[in-house]
Amino acid sequence: MPACERKADALLLRAAASVAGNVFCRSGLIVITRATLRRNFSRSKDAKTQGVRRQALTTNAEAFLVYSIRMITEVEPIPAAVVQRSRDVASERLQTDSRILAYTRWDIIPVAAALLHCAYFFGMFCLFPYVPLWVMLALGFTYSVSISWNINGISHNFIHNPYFRSPLLNRLFSILESVTVGFSQVFYECIHMQHHKGNADRPDESGDMIDWISIYKHGHDGEAESALSYTFLSFFREDPKTAYRELKRKSRREAFWGVTELTLFVSNFVILGILNWPYICFLLPFWYFGHCLSYLNGYYRHYGGNPDEPMA
């Protein structure tokens, strides 16, 4: 096997090992990117600068490797058990015979969890007139935690691994998630994929950066900002206009659905407020706090890493 192929295979195994523990990761990424990696390895003449070129991007799976993994000249050996585990996961994804689920029957778990989360959201509204305040406070706090859990679990995995074979079911599930957590799933996907491109990068000389939600964006002297400010201020720093322009550049159809999801979730909040205005006043702080918890999760998933080494 040529040296370029050996290095490409080694990198792929390392990437597979890093995601083997994630049941919902799209293992098809290895199949999709194999030829592209080898082709770009062959083109590079300098071993120290070998890497995947951005022009090779054709799929989200390739984008994950291009922007999240820096090529290295020496790759640590991967334990055989880990390699076999990643292959088993890939085999299950590609061979599932489910007529509904796209990659694995295990995806019924996050789908069911999303349905329960949505039922919980509307259940709080129904219970509000009948239960004591202390019960509602407990339910509201639980809803806050569940927003972060949903965004970083169900919604996140849905971005990389759409659960259904049917585009219609995937669209309906995206709307369901948007209403439940109070933010457009399509916009979240756009922001998240931009995050993978930049991978919490630092601002360049002109102050520009790739990752819109990088923990270094509002820091000083090349350091990450404080966890407190990132957690509680990031919600107000979101820029839907930038995300919309990026969506529109890629696909007017997706931009339309992103705006539709935003409209549906805002309309839902307005209707709940009209039906019971004390309830929406009660709900909004917990909704905000839930998104803050999601930012807190994102902060510590990247804090301490080296933004100049995407593999970190």
Stronger pLDDT, 19 or 208, i.e. the higher one: 208
Is 40's pLDDT higher than 70? no
Q: Helix or strand or coil: residue 53?
A: coil
Averaged pLDDT, 151-161: 94
In whole angstroms, what is the distance from residue 154 CA to residue 125 CA?
A: 23
Q: What is the pLDDT of residue 38?
A: 41
DSSP 8-state assignment for residue 179: H
Enumerate residues 6+ apart whose C-beta is below 8 A from 15.
29, 30, 65, 69
What are the structural domain ranges in the chain?
A: 3-95, 105-302
Region 150-164 average pLDDT: 94
Residue range 61-85, pLDDT digits in tens: 444 444 344 333 334 455 666 556 5
The pLDDT tens digits of the residues spanning 196-252 come to 888 888 888 787 888 889 999 888 888 899 999 999 999 999 888 999 999 999 999
Residue 37 reports pLDDT greater than 50: no
Measuring CA to CA, how many Å separate 217 from each of 26, 199, 214, 222? 29, 12, 5, 9
Residues 264-307 have pLDDT tens digits of 999 999 999 999 999 999 999 999 999 999 999 999 988 888 77
Q: What is the mean pLDDT of residues 34-47?
A: 40
Mean pLDDT of the chain: 78
Q: Is the pLDDT of residue 43 over 70?
A: no
| Whole-number pLDDT of residue 133 | 94
pLDDT surpassing 90 at residue 50: no
Angle at alpha carbon of residue 79, lines to 154 and 197, rounded to 5°: 45
Cβ burial 125-135 (10 Å sphere, 16+ → b, else e) = eeebeeeeeee
What are phi and psi for residue 77, nearest 5 degrees?
-65, 145
State the distance between the two ends of the chain, measured CA to CA, in whole angstroms: 29
